[in-house]
Structure 1
């Protein structure tokens, strides 16, 4: 029973090792490189860690495995070129005299940068942080105290710079939102003013149309009244003419009878 359980427990480890063996070929290339990586850190006269000292050949001469010199994973290691020979260091000792890493970026300096520059600088700092964290992990693996490395101060400067980039971008975001709100308020005020002008113009047009309609109605009524008056006058004149003629005829008849 115990043997079967032990076999079952060891099987995932074998699978894991096989997978790790496959992952070891991630940086393989078709052409070998003549720039082997180097890992070295000295404290006094004691060598803490060292890698292959081969001048030419692949990363692992005993395995004869070619490595792509332009692979992206090399960005996790510090690239140094001495006398035309390129090497990648996985550990950097603290060197106060020759440490030219500079200082963190200030917010005043970052405010002068464009969005593109801030975006580029953010990823440069992120790449540097990844490199420094890789060195810390390598030191932990070799049981090297982090005080012997120059990574802590550099990590702090990177974090400060990235925090200030976020602060500057947040300032721009707040300024943009404030400007947008002011623009929207001004636009609403302008639209309200235009709407009032349009409404006043419409009311004026309606008033003019009503006044014109009333004037036309008054003119029509006046014309109709004049027509009726003329008809009445004409009718009255006809009756008077007929009456006068009848009176004349009566007078003539009376004269004839007499």
Structure 2
């Protein structure tokens, strides 16, 4: 038993892997590899102006969270940032052009939600029944212009991806729609009344609908209009009649 135990210990030491000593050249390479930086990209130091490997990023090495400054200068540290040109072409435009009616009065492409909430109520049918044809015509096109402005601002919100003002714009558009529906209601009522009046006039012999001559010619009926005898009424200052002699 003792012999077998000793032989097992010897075999275990022989089969255990052991680190072999490195030669002299390998020790030098290992020390160089351990001292090398983690990144394989060369450091962007300040270079000459005409270098082909020039770095044009002014914020190279600046933390996007802490906004710390550069620890060493880079290739564009001494160069100023480009400024936008302030020279705009002068174009003569007509301030009274009809295209400007599609935008707000103050020249804004998009109104704020507070400005979109500042509007009155819609016109009612009872109020519009008292208006003339010209007033209804003008009010209709005012509503059309306002709806065009609302549509223009909605398109600008979608293009710019602003993410606000959609609810206020929708409520404003709904109010304008209610006014336009009320105008249609009043005009439909007037059209029905005109049809009824046309039917009555077509059966009236005194009305001429042909468009030639007099439109209305009254017909006199002697059997209807009779001349009444008018008796004089006595006045208070008149002398009473004398009695007849007996």
TM-score, length of structure 1 as denominator length: 0.43
Higher strand proportion (structure 1 or 2): 1
TM-score, length of structure 2 as denominator length: 0.45
